[in-house]
Structure 1
Amino acid sequence: MRLVRINERLAVSEQISPRNIAPLARAGYTAIINNRPDREALLQPGADAIAAAASREGLACIHLPVTGPDITEETVRAFQQALAASSGPVLAFCRTGARSLILWAIGEVLDGRMRKEDLIPFGAERGFDLSRAVDWLTAHGR
């Protein structure tokens, strides 16, 4: 599991498994945001398995499944609410980490904390292509 720290409150990663939860708890994470729809891939652990492992370790677990074409301002705001509700650091994951980062990045631009033109270099510095976030913002008149 490759964690990419975005800021003091958020890290993103590719798909995690239930066995990754205890090390995340030991590392100080207090919540997990699962942005992956169930059965997106053949051998992917289900949201229920991730949530059960998180519960055993005392971590909150929010299942906010989304695919790239399905991103709405409502899903962006739900992501922000889950992050804000956490008492500590949050790990958000999807297949590669990109969707989770895109949700965060769109929210940052919508709320004026980042500029749209800064997203591509921000993502590239962290190993992600945020062009879909830029495209979403442009398509929504931002």
Structure 2
Amino acid sequence: METKKLDDTLCIRPQVLPEQLAEAARLGFRSVINNRPDGEEPGQPTSDQVAAAAHAAGLEYRHIPVIPGQITDDAIDAFQRGIAEMPKPIVGFCRTGTRAAMLWALSNAREIGADNAIECAAGAGCDISGIRARLEQRGG
């Protein structure tokens, strides 16, 4: 299961399938954050299916759904709490990994700055430059 590291706490990737979660646990991940709303595309596993597989693999699971282009402050706060509270390392996912990267960047903007957040996300294959103003607003 290929992931891209954002920091020592979080790696991101596109959609995680339930059958991949045992491998995630074998790779050392201890938690999963799902940023996809249920029903985003046909054939996508539901949050309940992913949660059941995560728990069966011994992983903690949180569902923090975000509609593309509509990241709310509540979602950022929930993501930040998840990162703080969940066992590490964590794998976060959405359809492509970009929403997870955006939530990570927005959660950490005060500490790492907008430029560093954008650069780290780019290194993980995600272009989050479109949220630069919001990153700067959050203290980066």
TM-score (norm 2): 0.90
Q: Is the 8 Å Cα contact of residues 6 and 12 (structure 1) preserved in structure 2?
A: yes
Establish whether residue 83 from structure 1 lines up as the match of residue 83 from structure 2: yes
Give CA-to-partner distance per residue, 1:88-122, whole Å, 9 cap, x none.
Answer: 2100000000000100101111xx21112333333
| One-letter identity of the residue aligned with 1:71 | I
Establish whether residue 20 from structure 1 lines up as the match of residue 23 from structure 2: no
Against the structure 1 CA distance between its residues 32 and 96, is the aligned structure 2 distance closer, same or farther, given a 3 Å change threshold?
same
Say which is worse superposed, 81-90 or 119-128, in terms of deviation: 119-128
Q: How far does residue 141 in structure 1 lie from its aligned partner after superposition?
A: 7.2
Give CA-to-partner distance per residue, 1:38-95, whole Å, 9 cap, x none.
Answer: 1101111111110000111111110100023321222111101111111221000000
TM-score (norm 1): 0.89
Against the structure 1 CA distance between its residues 116 and 50, is the aligned structure 2 distance closer, same or farther, given a 3 Å change threshold?
same
What number of residue pairs does the alignment pair up?
139
Q: How far does residue 133 in structure 1 lie from its aligned partner after superposition?
A: 2.6
User: Secondary structure in 1 aligned to 2:61?
Assistant: strand
For the aligned residue pairs, the C-alpha RMSD in angstroms reads 1.7
Using the alignment, how far apart are the partners of 2:134 and 2:43 within structure 1?
A: 30
Question: What is the percent sequence identity of the aligned residues?
Answer: 35
Against the structure 1 CA distance between its residues 38 and 84, is the aligned structure 2 distance closer, same or farther, given a 3 Å change threshold?
same
Using the alignment, how far apart are the partners of 2:138 and 2:118 within structure 1?
A: 18
Q: Is the 8 Å Cα contact of residues 33 and 63 (structure 1) preserved in structure 2?
A: yes
Report the equivalent of 1:107: 107
What are the ranges of 5 or more consecutive residues in structure 2 without an aligned counterpart? none
Q: Is the 8 Å Cα contact of residues 31 and 88 (structure 1) preserved in structure 2?
A: yes
Given the alignment, which residue of 111, 129, 132 partners 1:131?
129
Q: How far does residue 135 in structure 1 lie from its aligned partner after superposition?
A: 4.2
Using the alignment, how far apart are the partners of 1:51 and 1:71 within structure 2?
A: 22
